[in-house]
Amino acid sequence: MAVYTEVTDEALAAFLTLYDIGRMVAFRGIAEGVENSNYALKTTTGDYILTLYEKRVNTDELPWFLGLMEHLAAHGLSCPLPVRGLDGGNLKPLAGRVAAITTFLPGVWPRRVQVEHCEPLGAALAKLHITGAGFAPTRMNALGPHGWAPLLEKSLPRADEVLPGLGAELTTALAGILAAWPQNLPVGHIHADLFPDNVFFLEGKVSGLIDFYFAATDIYAYDVAVCLNAWCFERDFSFNVTKSQALLRGYLAHRNLDAAEQAALPVLAQGAALRFLLTRLYDWLNTPPGAMVTRKDPLDYYRRLRFHQHATSEAAYGL
Q: How far apart are CA 182 and CA 219, in angstroms?
A: 9
pLDDT at 3: 65
> Mean pLDDT across the stretch 77-102?
96
Is residue 307 within 8 Å of residue 244, measured between CB atoms?
no
Q: Classify 306 as helix, strand or coil.
A: helix
> Mean pLDDT across the stretch 16-21?
97
Q: Which amino acid is at 143?
A: L
Helix axes 299-309, 166-180, angle to 10 degrees: 50
Using CB atoms within 10 Å of the CB of residue 55, give its burial: 0 to 12 exposed, 13 to 18 middle, 19+ buried.
Answer: exposed
Query: pLDDT tens digits, residue range 101-155?
Result: 999 999 999 999 999 999 999 999 999 999 999 999 999 999 999 999 999 999 9
pLDDT at 293: 61
pLDDT at 5: 82
pLDDT at 291: 61
Beta bridge partner(s), residue 223: none
What pairing do the DSSP bridges indicate for beta strands 187-190 and 216-219? antiparallel
pLDDT at 82: 97
Q: Which amino acid is at 196?
A: P
Using CB atoms within 10 Å of the CB of residue 93, give its burial: 0 to 12 exposed, 13 to 18 middle, 19+ buried.
Answer: exposed
> Mean pLDDT across the stretch 211-239?
97
**How does residue 239 score in pLDDT terms, banded at 50, 70 and 90?**
very high
Above 80 in pLDDT, residue 99?
yes
Angle CA 7–287–197, to nearest 5: 75
Tell me, yes or no, if the two domains 9-103 and 115-317 fold the same way: no
- Read off the pTM: 0.92
Phi and psi at residue 155, to the nearest 5°: -105, -15
Phi and psi at residue 216, to the nearest 5°: -160, 175
Q: Which amino acid is at 81?
A: L
**Mean pLDDT of all residues in the chain?**
94
Above 60 in pLDDT, residue 33?
no
Taking alpha carbons only, the member of 251, 254, 128, 257 closest to residue 186 is 257
Taking alpha carbons only, the member of 262, 280, 264, 265 closest to residue 170 is 280
Give the architecture-level CATH label for domain 115-317: Alpha-Beta Complex (3.90)
Above 70 in pLDDT, residue 1?
no
Taking alpha carbons only, the member of 232, 231, 237 closest to residue 304 is 237
Domain ranges in the chain? 9-103, 115-317
pLDDT at 295: 75
Give the architecture-level CATH label for domain 9-103: 2-Layer Sandwich (3.30)
Is residue 272 within 8 Å of residue 229, measured between CB atoms?
yes
Using CB atoms within 10 Å of the CB of residue 179, give its burial: 0 to 12 exposed, 13 to 18 middle, 19+ buried.
Answer: exposed
Query: pLDDT tens digits, residue range 56-67?
Result: 678 899 999 999
Above 90 in pLDDT, residue 224?
yes
Query: pLDDT tens digits, residue range 258-307?
Result: 999 999 999 999 999 999 999 999 989 987 766 656 678 999 999 999 99
pLDDT at 292: 57
